[in-house]
Amino acid sequence: MSDKKISHQEKYWDEMAEEKEFPTPFPMEKFKKYAALEMDILDVGCGYGRTLKELHENGFNNLTGVDFSQGMIKRGLKLHPYLNLVKNNGDDLPFPDNTFDAVLLIGVLTSNIQTEHQQELILEISRVLNDHGILYISDFLLNNDERNLNRYQKYEDRYGVYGVFKLPEGVVLRHHTTEHILRLTKDYKKLYFEKTIFNTMNGNRSNGFYYIGQKR
């Protein structure tokens, strides 16, 4: 992804940091089946700390969040001053190898539209994740309604990926196939995968999924 694209995305999320609410639910009971309370957990693209707050309320205490939006981090620390939220510059995670027992990636792939960049992100997550560590992902899948089909087709030539589209406010996002997600996580043992329907941050409905895998 070009510096210009990264800069635009960061600017968008900084501007929307106080406005946007992320309504996608976190499957806490399912996550608890694979994650112990004492685990060190990293939320990549933590936003304003919504999921980390929920984990903290459920007894998880070793929690860290990173996000490239200073606005989101500022909002998160104001709402949840007990959380460890860090602004992350660039694509590299600022942690040594094998630091965390579990990593969360919630609604982040949708903002990283190029497959190569998504692959690099998963590799970087794998670097900071312990052997046999847990990877949790939730994100958006392709939809078949007329509104989405029209915008997928409209932007495919421009961005080279079917499922990419641009919102009226200017941010570019991506919906995925199940096969693409399973290819991204091929180095993980799939423990759980479920398709679902999410409400989006703009009040629409979209196909989505929950995924839990274990690093091989």
Residues 157-199: tens digit of each pLDDT: 999 999 999 998 888 999 999 999 999 999 999 999 999 999 9
What gap in Å lies between CA 131 and CA 216, rounded to an integer? Answer: 7
Angle at the Cα of 118 (from 115 to 122), degrees rounded to 5?
A: 140
Residue 2, classed as helix, strand or coil, is coil
Quick check: 117 and 1 in contact, CB under 8 A? yes
Retrieve residue 129's tokens. 């994740």
Please report the DSSP string for 87-98 in residue order: E--SSS-SS-TT
Q: At 84, which helix (H) or strand (E)?
A: strand 84-87
CA quadruple 61, 126, 121, 141: dihedral sign: negative
CATH number of domain containing 157: 3.40.50.150
pLDDT tens readout for residues 29-67? 999 999 999 999 999 999 999 999 999 999 999 999 999
- Pairing state between β 164-166 and 63-67: unpaired
What gap in Å lies between CA 194 and CA 75, rounded to an integer? Answer: 31
Q: Which residue range(s) make up the domain with 124?
A: 3-215
Q: What is the pLDDT of residue 19?
A: 58
Domain count, the chain: 1
- Please state whether the predicted TM-score (pTM) of the whole model is above 0.75: yes
Retrieve residue 187's tokens. 């180095």
What gap in Å lies between CA 53 and CA 33, rounded to an integer? Answer: 19
Q: Is the pLDDT of residue 22 over 80?
A: no
pLDDT tens readout for residues 88-108? 987 899 999 999 999 999 999
